[in-house]
Amino acid sequence: MKLARRVEQLPPYLFARISELIATKRAAGVDVISLGIGDPDIPTPPHLIEVLQRAAEKPANHRYPESDGLPELRQAIARWYAKRHGVTLDPNREIVPLIGSKEGIGHLPLCLIDPGDVALMTDPGYPVYEIGTMFAGGESVKLPLREEDGWLPRLDDIPVEVARRAKVLWLNYPNNPTGAVADRAFFAHAVAWAREHDVLIAHDLAYADVVYDGYEPSSILEVDGAKDVAIEFNSLSKAFNMTGWRVGMAVGNATVINALTRVKTNLDSGIPQAIQEMAIAALDDPRDAIAQHNAIYTRRRDRVVAVLRELGLRLDPPKASLYVWARLPAAERSSAEFAARLIDATGVVVTPGVSYGPSGEGYIRISLTVPDDRLEEALRRLSAFARGETVL
């Protein structure tokens, strides 16, 4: 049986060697602790689970939902954007709920990309931007991010011939994996660039509510005229610890939102309605739960930063996101080799920066979504390793 080329072209699993080391360590009885997955360990707030339980008992919620979501959910999303970002959205034309933002990110290229078209994406960056483009038959052009630029792309350096073929520019701030943030001035420049080159901006705002030290991220839609050239993906996964319930949204340019809705109508049947009711309750909720979660993440961030510095890594504490991104010591040549050595010596898993693209080489990413006791044990081992002690 011969598979389709698009499947055969999927990149190999970048953690293959590390996965082998993890399996070997576990087979030898080592307690392996992973700091590599960005999946909140804190449960969904109990009052939202109660809403879900009541909604699950309604017979109307046992039937097929609609791909474009309950009108009440779209209205709740509009209220959220107005309250959170001062952005006015038409619930009937500029919003579509998603089965998690990843689903919409993967489907968007089907709306915009024809064979031969280009999608621009940042490097390092979330791999789904590139995979979705490949499935649509397009070509990905990576924009290298640099620490000295604050991990923001140099849009004015994009060659004219590339910009002419580009259909979409992917942005993601607060950023995964770097934790970098972008201000409104950057977004205004990006909107002007997109208008000049007739390119849609797809901005991924999944980490807007995981913030530290009083920082408040902007939506790109706060920029005047942004809806002419931009849509934004958002998610309840990180804000409300709802990764398992799969609730996200795309908002912005009405033409693109309509196209994405049409694609979804042909490929899925929408979010289960009981979960939509829970999402409405979350969006209309005070931000108390978010503040409580962020206090936990702040404490973890500060502990991780201190230990990474003991290891000789260079970093700035992130203002947002679930990740700490750190530069390896100058003597280290390979992020994958460094990660493999940590697993071998300590049983602690970190993510090599090169997993997110060539410009991520020389860095590692650590996730803060690990229960406190497991995180403290991992940090104890890393600190001992930094002092040259035998850990395992």
Instruction: Identify whether residues 246 and 327 lie together within a single domain.
Output: no
Average pLDDT over residues 137-142: 96
pLDDT score at 67: 86
Number of structural domains (the chain) is 2
Q: Is residue 28 part of a domain?
A: yes
Domain boundary among 283, 308, 324: 283
Q: Give mean pLDDT, residues 47-52.
A: 97
What is the residue range of 157's domain?
A: 63-283
Residue 322 sits in the same domain as residue 370: yes
Q: What is the CATH number of the domain that holds 125?
A: 3.40.640.10
Q: Is 347 left (phi over 0), alpha (psi -120 to 50) or beta?
A: left
Dump the DSSP string for 160-191.
HHHHHHEEEEEE-SS-TTT-----HHHHHHHH
The per-residue pLDDT for 238 is 95
The verdict on 39 and 154 lying in the same domain is: no
Whole-prediction pTM: 0.95
Span of 10-24, 35-49, 119-133, 351-365 with lowest mean pLDDT: 10-24
Domain stops at, among 224, 251, 283: 283
More confident residue, 3 or 17: 3
Are residues 204 and 88 part of one domain?
yes
Nearest C-alpha neighbor of 160 from the set 191, 196, 113: 196
Looking at the structure, do residues 318 and 337 belong to the same domain, yes or no?
Answer: yes
Same domain, 200 and 274: yes
Domain annotation covers residue 140 = yes
Do residues 124 and 268 share a domain?
A: yes
At 358-389, the pLDDT tens digits run 999 999 999 999 999 999 999 999 999 999 99
Task: Note whether 273 and 309 are same-domain residues.
Answer: no
Q: What is the CATH number of the domain that holds 378?
A: 3.90.1150.10
Q: Are residues 310 and 222 in the same domain?
A: no
Range 122-144 average pLDDT: 96
Judgement on whether residues 173 and 303 belong to the same structural domain of the protein: no
Distances (CA, A) of 10 to 18, 138, 210, 355: 19, 14, 31, 14
Start-end of H helices in the chain: 5-8, 16-27, 46-56, 71-85, 101-112, 127-135, 160-165, 184-197, 254-267, 273-283, 288-310, 335-346, 372-386
- Give SS3 for 193: helix
378 neighbors 33 (Cβ within 8 angstroms):
yes
Domain identity same for 157 and 206: yes
pLDDT higher than 90, residue 296 = yes
Chosen domain end from 235, 259, 283: 283
- With a cut of 90, say whether residue 25 has pLDDT above it: no
For position 13, what pLDDT does the model report?
A: 56
The full DSSP string for 129-149 is HHHHHHHTT-EEEEEE--GGG
What 8-state DSSP symbol labels residue 66?
-
Provide the mean pLDDT of the chain. 95
pLDDT confidence tier of residue 280, bands split at 50, 70 and 90: very high
Asked whether residue 269 is domain-assigned, the answer is yes
Which pLDDT score, from 0 to 100, does residue 24 have?
A: 86
**190 and 107 inside one domain:** yes
Domain annotation covers residue 58? no
Is residue 391 assigned to a domain? no
pLDDT tens track for 149-168? 999 999 999 999 999 999 99
Q: What is the pLDDT of residues 15-24, one digit of tens each?
A: 566 677 788 8
**Residue 14: is its pLDDT beyond 60?**
no
Q: How far apart are CA 226 and CA 249, in angstroms?
A: 17
At residue 89, the pLDDT reads 98
Mean pLDDT of 188-196: 98
Confidence of residue 209 (pLDDT cuts 50, 70, 90): very high
Please determine, for residue 85, whether its predicted confidence score (pLDDT) is greater than 80. Answer: yes
In the chain, % of residues over pLDDT 90: 90
Residue 203 forms part of a structural domain:
yes
Least confident window among 226-235, 328-337, 374-383: 328-337
